[in-house]
């Protein structure tokens, strides 16, 4: 009887252990399934979130780019409205370069002006220590240099102001001599038909490279650099001229220019 009770108790414990083991296996399987589902869900949400962020970022960048283009176009249109038509993007003929006949001498900082089919080229540096004192004439019609003649000895050699009335060439101030010598106030006029020179009244002050133009019968001279080369001049003078002659003995003071430009040494 005691042996039977012991055997029965042993089977009872084995069944209990089996149930406990089975329960543990179920718990472990459930945990693994839950972990797997959570990981897949996290990956899903992470991927969707990344794609959403990328999509939003791309849309924002595209929107900003489009807005930038609109602003750029608006700014460009605003500037074009304020520009003279000369500076706008207007249709223009195709310009092509043609090689001229080689110049008679090397020349730097000379001055040139055209009258009809002739180009008059004045003075300029040959080297830093040598300046030309003559005028060369180029003929556009046959692409050749057709002559030369001397300048007045007192005339500047570079940084000249220059204007023409179609026959006479007015030469104003400029640097006298080579290197970085000082400016002069002396002025001259050339009759291109007779090749004769005449004096004009000197400027109130010497100037390097002044802006020079004839307007309504008056020779206007403005700006340039003062005697030290570094200070821009703002003064504006005019002289009544006709047929290469000065009709006044002194230059008239005009409205000064608002801003000048320094002519620094080379």
Average pLDDT, the chain: 82
Q: What is the DSSP letter of 87?
A: G
Structure confidence at residue 86 (pLDDT): 56
Among residues of the chain, what percentage have pLDDT more than 70?
A: 68
Q: Do the Cβ atoms of 158 and 131 come closer than 8 Å?
A: yes
Residue 232: CB atoms within 10 Å: 14
pLDDT digits (tens, 9 = 90+) for 187-204: 999 999 999 999 999 999
Structure tokens at 144: 């050749």
Structure confidence at residue 262 (pLDDT): 66
pLDDT digits (tens, 9 = 90+) for 126-137: 999 999 999 999
Sequence-distant (≥ 6) Cβ neighbours of residue 109 within 8 angstroms: 124, 125, 158, 159, 266
Where is average pLDDT lowest: 6-10, 11-15, 261-265?
6-10
Answering whether pTM is above 0.85, one says no
- How many angstroms separate the CA atoms of 105 and 118, rounded? 18
- How many angstroms separate the CA atoms of 223 and 207, rounded? 8
- How many angstroms separate the CA atoms of 160 and 133, rounded? 13
Nearest CA to 175 among 232, 109, 129? 109
Nearest CA to 106 among 86, 88, 132, 80? 132
């Amino acid at each position: 009887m005691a042996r039977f009770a012991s055997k029965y108790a042993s089977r009872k414990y084995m069944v209990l252990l089996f149930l406990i083991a089975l329960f543990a296996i179920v718990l472990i399987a459930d945990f693994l399934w839950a972990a797997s589902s959570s990981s897949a869900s996290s990956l899903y949400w992470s991927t969707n979130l990344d794609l959403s962020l990328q999509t939003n970022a791309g849309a924002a960048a595209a929107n900003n780019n489009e807005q930038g283009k609109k602003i750029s176009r608006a700014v460009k249109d605003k500037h074009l409205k304020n520009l003279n038509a000369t500076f706008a993007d207007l249709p223009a003929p195709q310009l092509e370069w043609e090689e001229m006949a080689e110049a008679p001498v090397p020349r730097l900082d000379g001055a040139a002006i055209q009258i009809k089919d002739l180009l008059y080229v004045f003075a300029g540096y040959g080297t830093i220590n040598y300046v030309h004192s003559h005028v060369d004439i180029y003929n556009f019609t046959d692409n050749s240099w057709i002559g030369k003649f001397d300048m007045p000895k007192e005339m500047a050699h570079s940084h000249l102001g220059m204007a023409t009335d179609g026959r006479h060439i007015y030469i104003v101030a400029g640097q006298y001599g080579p290197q970085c010598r000082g400016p002069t106030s002396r002025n001259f006029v050339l009759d291109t038909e007779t090749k004769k020179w005449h004096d004009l009244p000197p400027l109130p002050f010497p100037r390097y490279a002044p802006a020079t133009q004839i307007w309504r019968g008056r020779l206007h001279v403005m700006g340039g650099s003062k005697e030290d080369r570094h200070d821009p001049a703002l003064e504006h003078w005019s002289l009544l001229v006709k047929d290469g002659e000065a009709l006044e003995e002194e230059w008239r003071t005009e409205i000064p220019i608002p801003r000048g430009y320094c002519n620094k040494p080379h």
